[in-house]
Copies of this chain bind each other. A is one copy, B any other.
Amino acid sequence: MTKVAIIGASGYSGEELVRLLLSHPHAELVAVTSRQQAGQTVAQVFPKFASHPRARALRFVEPNAEVLAKQAEVVFLALPHGVAAEFAVPLLAGGARVIDLSADFRLKSAAIYQEFYAHDHPAPELLAKSVYGLPEVHRAAIQGATLIASPGCYPTSILLPTLPLLRAGLIKPQGIIADSMSGVSGAGRKAELDYLFVECNESVRPYGVPKHRHLSEIEEQLALAAGGPVTIQFTPHLIPVNRGILTTLYLAPAKHFATADEAAALGAQIAACYAAAYANEPFVRVLEGKALPDTKNVVGTNVLELAWRLDARTGRLIVMSAEDNIVKGASGQAVQSFNIMCGYPETAGLL
């Protein structure tokens, strides 16, 4: 058993971490913090967990990094970007390992952070130390890490379908387009007019066009796989569901195909590439036959599912992925890293 704590546990990602860690076979949840909820039990703040004895016993406290570093071996940060770094520094100094769900440690470059987040990085010295917590890609580095930067929800939905193809040289690194639709929980539990029920229901809208913050980490990870700079087009849309991201990717195969035979040959390579990457991965599902991704098949799970189609009319490869933005896109993936980091079975608490 590993003692764990969650800082900032009152948002949607924090709540999902609470759910996953309360029932995790190898985690003991010793502390949860929230400035607004301090003093309340977990069961009072989240009635849906009230059947769990620990939820009735454990009370939210004010966050104190020094104290938490002594109480917990691993601390999850479910905080806004900028704030997370302030806690990471003393936690690491106090000997805790940190899994950060914010964007603070996802980039290697403080300059790019500054460009996309419009303020100086609060702890640039930690950037080199942090590991990008995408287990299917950086599993080995996660094992030894003390600071995990757990990926964003959009980046996960884009990187898992793209990276194997890019590493295998099957697609061109330039010209990638990612068109995504996200449920409203992605905006966080914030009292803002834009996210009221009446403003989101019976509505679909793009936002953050054309330069969303998540681009920075997506492009950095794509560049690592491509071996050179990558610039992509990314358009997020808000749709009226609680959970789920559906991403449709428009990719250019490295090799031109025009005949049915060429398409079949290329298709075989793509299938083989995905099989090599994901056939043994418990949390990535490559759909077969006529099946296409549907968020309702992955919501509540740590699975990302994907399907691909070659379009002989346009010469493009279309890849579509679906995930739960709060599970595989946030808290579930963080627990997956936790399992790897601590030497537990990777699926512990996640099936």
Contact = CB atoms under 8 A, between A and B. Distances in A.
B47 A320 contact: no
Interface string A281-317: 0110101000111111111110101000111011010
B301 A51 contact: yes
Given A47-B294, A205-B294, A233-B316, A196 B196 contact: yes
Interface residues of A, number: 75
A221 interface: no
Contact of A177 (B190, B211, B232, B250): B250
23 contacts: A23-B351, A51-B283, A51-B303, A179-B235, A179-B248, A181-B237, A190-B196, A191-B196, A197-B240, A201-B240, A202-B241, A202-B299, A203-B294, A203-B296, A205-B293, A205-B322, A209-B309, A210-B309, A210-B311, A210-B313, A231-B314, A233-B250, A239-B239
Interface of A: 12, 23, 47-48, 50-52, 177, 179, 181, 183-185, 189-193, 195-207, 209-211, 231-233, 235, 237, 239-244, 246, 248, 250, 282-283, 285, 287, 291-301, 303, 305, 309-311, 313-314, 316, 318, 320, 322, 351
Contacts of A202: 202, 241-244, 295-296, 299
A250 B242 CA distance: 27
B201 A181 contact: no
A164 B87 CA distance: 50
A227 B59 CA distance: 45
A23 to B, nearest CB: 8
A316 B174 CA distance: 12
A277 B23 CA distance: 27
Contacts of A183: 198
A209 B318 contact: yes
B237 A240 contact: no
Given A177-B177, A207-B292, A232-B314, 11 more contacts: A47-B294, A51-B301, A51-B351, A181-B239, A191-B191, A195-B198, A197-B201, A201-B241, A203-B294, A204-B294, A209-B292
